[in-house]
Amino acid sequence: MAEYTKDTRFSWGWVVGGAALIWVLQFFAGLFMIMVGMHEIAAAGIALGAYLGGGFVIGWWSEGRTILEAGLATLLVIFIELGRGHAALGRLSPGELLFIYGIPFVAAIIGAWIGERVQGNVIRTSDD
């Protein structure tokens, strides 16, 4: 097995790909919640899991600056969601917006941190 130190370069590919992953996870979580008809607290937990899981995958598979990439990917998803819900933004206070979008951001960062810890500092590959 060959070992090498992780590459710490920033990757826009992981930002865009991670944003797509988080959005798809969030979309399917929303479909699941609609189909099952969940209580709001359980639904919030599942939606939060989409951000946590997406951040984890970015942290686990990306060699680069995983926490920064996951944070930017989450911000991209949040901006997309803010654009989609533009009409409803006028009814929400700044505190509600911070709660609705700040907690998923933190969840994605925590997921990326955990994923980075799972990945470790050295990459091992099999020599073919």
- Interval 66-81: pLDDT, tens: 788 899 999 999 888 8
Q: Averaged over 11-19, what is the pLDDT?
A: 90
Cβ count near 69 (within 10 Å): 25
Determine phi and psi for 126, rounding to 5 degrees.
-85, 140
Q: Averaged over 47-66, what is the pLDDT?
A: 88
59, two tokens: 């942290």
Kindly report, residue by residue over 72-110, the tens digit of the pLDDT. 999 999 888 888 877 677 787 888 888 888 999 999 999
Q: What count of residues does the chain have?
A: 128
Q: Averaged over 117-128, what is the pLDDT?
A: 68
105, two tokens: 């951001």
108, two tokens: 């994605």
Q: Whole-angstrom Cα distance, residue 55 to residue 32?
A: 20
